[in-house]
Amino acid sequence: MQITVWQADSVGALLQRGTAQLLEPGPDEALLEVLHGGLCHSDLSMIDNSWGVSAYPLVPGHEVVGRVVQVGEGVDPSLVGQLRGLGWIAGSCRHCSWCLGGEANLCADLEATVVGRSGGFASHVKGHQDWLIPIPEGLSPADAGPLFCGGITVFAPLLDEAVSPTARVAVIGIGGLGHMALQFAKAWGCEVTAITTHPERKAAEATAFGAHGVVALSALADQAGRFDLIINTSNHSLDWDAVVGSLAPRGRLHQLGVVTEPIPLQAFPFIAGRLQFTGSPTSSPASLRRMVDFCARHGIKPQVEHLPMAEINTAIERLRKGDVRYRFVLDGPV
Ligand SMILES: [Zn+2]
Ligand SMILES: [Zn+2]
């Protein structure tokens, strides 16, 4: 089958519109006609081969909302016509202990949507049926795309770690991930603090997303012993002593920003306060389904800027400069 794609032909290249051959959906796979695609920072990392796993031509895009147009063997044909979301993961082995235990995002044989295969900035993209998430009534398909990578990344630390609604939660970095984390933590029932380098610019919006308070990153030392959970979306090196110092006893620092330098942590506060340092990669299909239901119930959605798919290079260029409030969605047709 001939499909239309937006692809990078070499490291760091602008995307070019072209055509490619896409194999029919295999067993347990379904084919989506792409309607909307969120642009994630990981797409830039893939275009730039920052992780050394990119193959060119590269078709990025892993925050897809599309309509099922064809199903492979073993997939209920009634899926055809349904709206589904597809994120970073497009398949898992289904047989290992992690898959069987409901944590398929930890499977060693994951199929990532944009690694070694054609991603979502295309007319069509394939995924295994487990990872094609139904879009519930009440969730706008046009805005839902960023939930399937960015959204689940910040929802997992609440859902998968069973955070108490009485927790005091801080979110560091109010951007593509952080603005969704604020909404989730607020609806979860938590006391929510936004921590940002630009409180003067971000305070009003952070409050609108659900923050009860806004604190300047430079003033974090004043929050000693306060937070039960810190969700850190920043990929910059921070004053780690101040970050750890702001945790309450049994508090947890959950790291989501890929800081390239090592993170130096003092042992003593972790011993004395029974603290934890954790991280997580997206989440399971079950958690993705629970997330979209939670969003529909609480009116949570990413704040997105829409552009037609033909302006994808503009979106990439602006995301590289951090010039987006708060996430781009590229709209089809491709
Ligand atoms: Zn597995
Ligand atoms: Zn992503």
Note the pLDDT tens digit of each residue in 219-262: 999 999 999 999 999 999 999 999 999 999 999 999 999 998 99
Q: Which CATH architecture has domain 2-150+282-331?
A: Alpha-Beta Complex (3.90)
At 334, is the pLDDT very low, low, confident or very high (cuts 50, 70, 90)?
Answer: confident
pLDDT at 314: 98
Distance CA 297, CA 293 (A): 6
Whole-number Å distance, alpha carbon 82 to ligand 1 midpoint, is: 26
Whether the predicted pLDDT of 23 surpasses 90: no
At 1, is the pLDDT very low, low, confident or very high (cuts 50, 70, 90)?
Answer: confident
Whole-number Å distance, alpha carbon 271 to ligand 2 midpoint, is: 34
Whole-number Å distance, alpha carbon 286 to ligand 1 midpoint, is: 15
DSSP 167-199: -EEEEE--STTHHHHHHHHHHHT-EEEEEES-H
DSSP 15-36: EEEEEEE-PPP-TTEEEEEEEE
Q: Which residues surround ligand 2, an ion (CB under 5 A)?
A: 40, 42, 149
Whole-number Å distance, alpha carbon 212 to ligand 1 midpoint, is: 40
Q: Which ligand lies nearest the alpha carbon of 37?
A: 2
Q: Which CATH architecture has domain 161-279?
A: 3-Layer(aba) Sandwich (3.40)
Whether the predicted pLDDT of 130 surpasses 90: yes
Give the residue extent of every domain in the chain.
2-150+282-331, 161-279
Whether the predicted pLDDT of 170 surpasses 90: yes
Same fold, 2-150+282-331 and 161-279: no
